Every structure is written in C-alpha cells, then in structure tokens.
C-alpha cells in the first residue's frame, strides 16, 4: 500500500466518460499555461475532492435531497455560489 504525506493511498478505478478525461486534460494544460506545471489527472481529482471536503467541513454543503449525480452536482455548485 502506498503512502503520501503520512496517509495510506488506495487505488480506485472508476469508469468515466471520454469528455471527462478531455476536461481533466484541458485543466491540466491550463495549469501549465498559467505559469504552473501540468498536473496529473489523479492530482486534479485529489484537489477537487479536497476542495469539496473543505466545503463540507465548513458546513457549506447541504446534502438534503441528494439522490443522484445531478442533484449532487447542484449541491456542490450551489455551495460555490454561496461563497462567491
């Protein structure tokens, strides 16, 4: 089992549509073109999850009525709108 920053890292294989892979690639290229470096898809996904975790830890996510991907997406987007 691998570790990073003292935490055990688990491998998770998830099926994703091709447009999601294209989106991750686009974001990776944006990070590089904005003066950073191109990030791996796994790094991007970890960053996205950590950001959602911070929203949840601060009480900004309301999971009431979440039943599917679409309602989860709305829950997350609404939370981002609240902090803007």
In this prediction, residues 2-28 reach a mean pLDDT of 90
pLDDT tens digits, 40-76? 999 999 999 999 999 999 998 999 999 999 999 999 9
Q: Where are the domains of the chain?
A: 17-83
Residue with tokens 């999850």: 49
Q: State the pLDDT at residue 80.
A: 85
Q: What tokens were used for 16?
A: 């994703």
User: How confident is the model at residue 3, as a pLDDT?
Assistant: 79
Query: H helices within the chain, ranges in order?
Result: 18-33, 41-57, 69-83
Rounded CA-CA distance 22/34 in Å is 18
pTM for the model: 0.81
**What is the rounded (10 degree) CA torsion for 35, 40, 45, 49?**
-60
Three-state SS at 2: strand
């Amino acid at each position: 089992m691998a570790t990073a920053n003292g935490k055990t890292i688990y491998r998770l294989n998830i099926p994703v549509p091709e447009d999601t892979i294209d989106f991750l690639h686009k974001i990776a290229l944006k990070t590089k073109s904005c003066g950073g470096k191109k990030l791996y898809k796994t790094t991007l996904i970890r960053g996205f999850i950590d950001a959602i975790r911070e929203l949840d830890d601060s009480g900004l996510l309301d999971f009431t009525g979440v039943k599917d991907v679409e309602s989860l997406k709305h829950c997350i987007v609404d939370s981002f709108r609240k902090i803007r």
